[in-house]
Amino acid sequence: MNISYDWLKEYIDLNVPPEELAKYFDQIGLMVESTREVNGQTVYEIETYANRPDTLGHLGIARELATLFGLPLKMPGWQLSELEQSTFDLIDIQVLDSQLCPRYCGLVVRGVTVGPSPEWLKKRIEAIGLRPINNIVDIGNYVCFSLGQPLHTFDLNRLKEARIIVRRARKGEFIRTLEGQLVELTPDMLVIADDSKPVALAGIIGGEESGITEKTTDVFIESANFDPVSIRLTAKKLGLSTDASYRFERGVDINAAPLGARMAASLLGQFGGKVSRGLLDVYPNQRKPRSVPLRLKRISELLGIEIPEEFVTRTLTSLGLKLNEQKPGVWVAEIPSFRVDLEREADLIEEIARFFGYDRIPSEVTPTRSFELPGNQEQDCLWLLKETLLHYGFDEVINFSLADPEKEKIWQTGYQPIELRNPISSRTSILRTSLLPGLVENAVWNYNREANGVHIFETGKVYFWEADGQQGEELHLGLLTSGLKEQKSWAQPARETDYFSLKGAIEDLFFYLGYEAPAFEPEDHSFFESGQSVKILTKNETAGYLGLLKPEIRKAYELEKLAYACELNLADLFDRQPRAFVFAPVPRYPGMVRDLSFLVEAQVNFQAIDVQLKKLNVPYLERFEIYDRFEGGSLPAGQISYSVRFFFRHESRTLLAEEVERAMLNIISHLKSTLKIQLR
C-alpha cells in the first residue's frame, strides 16, 4: 500500500517531517518497505496485514498516526450541489441477495464533463502508483485509497431501464470486463445486472458495456459492501485480483458505503455534476457494534508490565473504540465498524502494546517450573550417524523433496509417488520416492565442476502412497561414492573408491550406532548392475540396498564415472532400541593366535564361511579375521584361497596349547564337512 505524506495531511496535522515518519510507522507495525519521492511528495510503501483492511486507505493510516502522536483526526465535510430529482426517480435498485451484498449505496450525478483530472488529483493518483485516466475514474480511485471503500461508476444511460439488480449470476451468462476479458459466470458469483444482463462482477471489476466513456454525462456511483468470502472465491476462480477485490475480501467497513458515495458525488460536482437528492441505501440487516470485554489486570498479565489506565483509555478511544466501565479496571469496549480485526480481549491488548511500544516492554527470561528429561532419541541417532559418515569423508548434501516424475521412473523405486495438484513445474511435480536420484545429480554437477571424486550422503524423507491409500513419509539415508577417494600426493598414490569402502562405512554405521551387525545378501535390484548389489538385512527384514549403479541410470543422468550407492530405511532402524552400552572387562590373560589357509569352491562366499564359524560356537574363540583371499594364478579353476586368523582367549586363566589345537581341529572338520574346504 502506497501512502503519501501530503495526502495524510488531509486528515492530520503532522508535526513530524516526512523523512522521520518511517520509523514511527515501523514502531506501530506499519512496516515501511521503501520510501520514494513522487512529484515532490514523499511516498511510503507500507506492508499491510490481511486482518487490517482499515489500513488500506489514507484515513485509516492517519488514524493510527493520530493515536501515536496524540493528535486529532480531521474529517472533511462533503458538500453536494443537488438536483431537483431524487435518486429513486433516476434509478431503480433491487438487492436480491443481501447475504452477499449486505449494504448497497448509490447516488446519481448528472451533467458531468469527462476529461483529464486537475493537477492536484493527478498528483494523488500518481502517488499511489496508478496512472491518471480521467476525472471520473480518478475520483473513484481517490475515494478508494482515502477511505478504503471501493467504488464503481456506471454510465447511467448505458444501464438498461436505469435499473440495478444485485443478484447471483445465471448459468450460461457472460460478461466482458473493463479489461476486455470475456468471463463465463456461474451461479455462485454475485453480479450487478441491469434489466437484461450482468454489467459488473460485484466488488471485483466492472463490465465494458456499462463503463464510463468520453461521452458520458450522467454517472451512477455505486458504493457497496460485499461478502468477503464470496468475493475471494469468485476472484480466485477467475484469476482476477483488483484493488476492489483486495479490499472486499479483507472486509470493508460496512459504514463506509454511504460516505464513499457522498465523497465521490461531491468531488464530481467540481466537473459540473449535480447530485440526485437522497442517498440510496439498501441496508436491510443493520449491524450492531461488537462488544469486547477488557480487564486492566489481564493487560499486565499478558504483557509483563503494568500499563497506566489512562494510557489504555486514551489509546483505545483515539482508535475509535468506546469504553464503558463496568467496575474499576473492567470495561466493555464498543468496536468501531472499520476495525474488523478486533474481536477478543487479546486483540485489544495487542493495540495497547503496539502503541505503548514493544521496546518499552521489559525482557525477562522465561521461568521454568519443570524440565523434561532429555529425549528424542532420533535426533541424537541422526547426528551420530552423520558424524560417523563425515569421519569417513562423506560430505553432507540436502536436495529438494520435489522430483521429476520422468526421471524417477527410470529408477523403479517400487513406491507409489505422490503427485502435487499445483506444481510449480512439471519437473518438480512429484515428491521423491528415493534419495539416490538427487545424489546422482549432485555427482554430475560436481564432476562437471572440477571434481575427480564425489562421496556424499543425505538423510531425508521419501514420500509415497501406502497400499491403503494413506500418505507415507519415511526417513532414509542415501550414500553415493564415486571416483578418487584419495588424491595422489608426494607421499602416496591416488586411490579410487570401491564397493568395500561403501560397505565398510555401512558396517561401521551399525557398529557406532550400537545396532547389531546387518546381513548382506547378494540380490539384484532395479538401481544396480546385475550381480553387483546386496540387500541389507536387519533382524531378517530388508533395511536397504547397496551396489554399483547400473549403466542405464548413469546414462540417463550423463554420469560417466562408475558410482556405488546405498539407500537405507532409517525409520525402521531408529524405531529399534540400540543395545545398551556397558563396558566389557579388559583381558587379563594372554591370548593365542592360529592361522588357517584353505581352498573352497568359488560359489561359497565369505558370508557362508562366516555363518558356519559363528554357528559352531567354538570355545575360547574371541574373534576371527579374514586376512588374505585370492583366486586364479596357480590355483585350480573355480577355487578360492582364504586365509583366516583366529584369536583365542580364556577370560580367567592362560589357555593351554592343547585346548587351542583341539578348537582348530574342530573348526577344520566342521568347515570340511559343511563347505568342503581343502587345507593348503
Partner 1 sequence: MSSLPEKIEQYRQVLNDLAAKTKNIKELEEVKQAFLGRKNGHLTLLFEELKQLPPEEKRAAGIALNNFKMEVQKTLAELEEQCLRPRAEKTVSDLTLPGKRIYWGAPHPLTLFQRKIEKIFVSMGFSVEDGPEIETDYYNFEALNFPPYHPARDSWDTLYINDKLLLRTHTSPVQIRVMEKKKPPIRIIIPGKVYRRETADPTHLPMFHQVEGLVVDRGITFAHLKGTLEYFIKALFGEKVKLRFRPSFFPFTEPSAEVDIECLACHGQDSQCRVCGGTGWKEILGAGLVDPQVFKNVNIDPEKYSGWAFGLGIDRTAMLAYEIPEMRYFYENDLRFLRQFNRR
Query: Does 491 participate in binding partner 1 (rule CB under 8 A)?
Result: yes
Contacts of residue 580, defined as CB under 8 A and 6 or more positions apart, other chains included, come to none
| Of 27, 217, 532, 674, the one binding partner 1 by CB under 8 A | 27
Number of neighbours of residue 561 by Cβ within 10 angstroms: 18
Among 471, 542, 607, 654, binds partner 1 (CB under 8 A): 471
- Write down the least CB distance from residue 312 to partner 1, Å: 14
In the stretch 358-377, what mask flags binding to partner 1 with x, by CB under 8 A?
Answer: xx-xxxxxxxxxxxx-xxx-
CB nearer to partner 1: give 235 or 265: 235
By beta-carbon proximity to partner 1, the closer residue of 199 and 443 is 443
Residue 259 phi, psi dihedral angles, 5° rounding: -65, -45
For the chain, how many helices (H) and strands (E)?
Answer: 20, 33
- The least distance separating partner 1 from the CB of residue 249, rounded to whole angstroms, comes to 5
Can you read off the three cell numbers belonging to residue 246? 483486495
- Rank residues 210 and 481 by Cβ distance to partner 1 and give the closer one: 481
Question: Which cell is 92 given?
Answer: 431503480
Instruction: Considering only residues 276 through 305, tell me which ones interact with partner 1, judged by CB under 8 A.
Output: 301-305
- Please identify which residue in 489, 603, 634, 652 interacts with partner 1, judged by CB under 8 A: 489
- In angstroms, how far is the first alpha carbon of the chain from the final one? 89
Q: Give, as ranges, the residues between 377 and 406 that touch partner 1 (CB under 8 A).
A: 378-379, 383, 386, 389-402
H helical segments located in 459-543: 499-513
Residue keyed to cell 496524540:
70
Binding flag, residue 678, partner 1 (CB under 8 A): no
d(CA 453, CA 457): 14
- Total binding residues for partner 1 by CB under 8 A? 94
Residue 39 CB neighbours (<10 A) = 13
User: Given the complex with partner 1, which of 116 and 504 has the nearer CB atom?
Assistant: 504
Q: Does 467 bind partner 1 (CB under 8 A)?
A: no
What is the smallest separation between the CB atom of 375 and partner 1, expressed in angstroms? Answer: 6
Buried b / exposed e over 338-362, threshold 16 CB at 10 Å, is bbbbbeebebbbbbbbbbbeeeeee
Nearer to partner 1, 296 or 600 (CB): 296
Nearer to partner 1, 102 or 258 (CB): 102
Q: Which residues ranging from 224 to 283 are in contact with partner 1 (CB under 8 A)?
A: 228-229, 232-233, 246, 249-250
461 binds partner 1 (CB under 8 A): yes
Q: What are phi and psi of 95, to 5 degrees?
A: -105, 110
Residue 189 φ then ψ, to 5°: -100, 140
| Cα distance between residue 462 and residue 432, in whole Å | 6
Q: Is 15 in the site for partner 1 (CB under 8 A)?
A: no
Could you tell me the three cell numbers for 155?
A: 454510465
Minimum CB–partner distance for residue 513 and partner 1 (Å): 17
CB of 403 closer than 8 Å to CB of 441? no
Of 191 and 505, which CB lies nearer to partner 1 in the complex structure? Answer: 505
Q: 486 by DSSP, 3-state: which? A: strand
Exposed, middle or buried, 81 (CB in 10 Å: 0-12/13-18/19+)? middle
Three-state DSSP state, 611: helix
Among residues 346, 593, 608, 656, which is the contact residue for partner 1, using CB under 8 A?
346
93: Cβ contacts below 8 Å, ≥ 6 apart: 104, 106, 163, 164, 166, 280, 282
> Which residues, numbered 436-455, are part of the site for partner 1 (CB under 8 A)?
442, 445-446, 449-451, 454-455
Nearer to partner 1, 485 or 670 (CB): 485
Instruction: Please list every residue from 47 through 66 that binds partner 1, using CB under 8 A.
Output: 49-52
Least distance CB 29 / partner 1 (angstroms):
3
DSSP state of 360: G
Beta carbon of residue 140, minimum distance to partner 1 (angstroms, whole number): 22
Judged by CB under 8 A, the chain residues 100 through 159 that form the site for partner 1 are none
Binding mask 579-618 for partner 1 (x = CB under 8 A): ----------------------------------------
Asked if 460 is part of the footprint of partner 1 (rule: CB under 8 A), the reply reads yes
Q: Give yes or no for a contact between 508 and 527, defined as CB atoms under 8 angstroms apart.
A: no
Length of the chain: 680
Positions in 410-439 near partner 1 (CB under 8 A): 418-424, 428, 431
Shortest distance (Å) from residue 452 CB to partner 1:
11
Chosen residue from 127, 265, 353, 660 binding partner 1 by CB under 8 A: 353
Regarding 9 and contact with partner 1 (CB under 8 A), the answer is no
Q: Is the separation of the CB atoms in 348 and 294 below 8 Å? A: yes
Q: For residue 475, which of 483, 464, 467 has the smallest C-alpha distance?
A: 464
151 closest CA partner among 271, 28, 77, 243: 243
From the list 10, 24, 28, 674, which residue makes contact with partner 1 (rule: CB under 8 A)? 28
* Among residues 40, 171, 490, 625, the one that binds partner 1 under rule CB under 8 A: 490
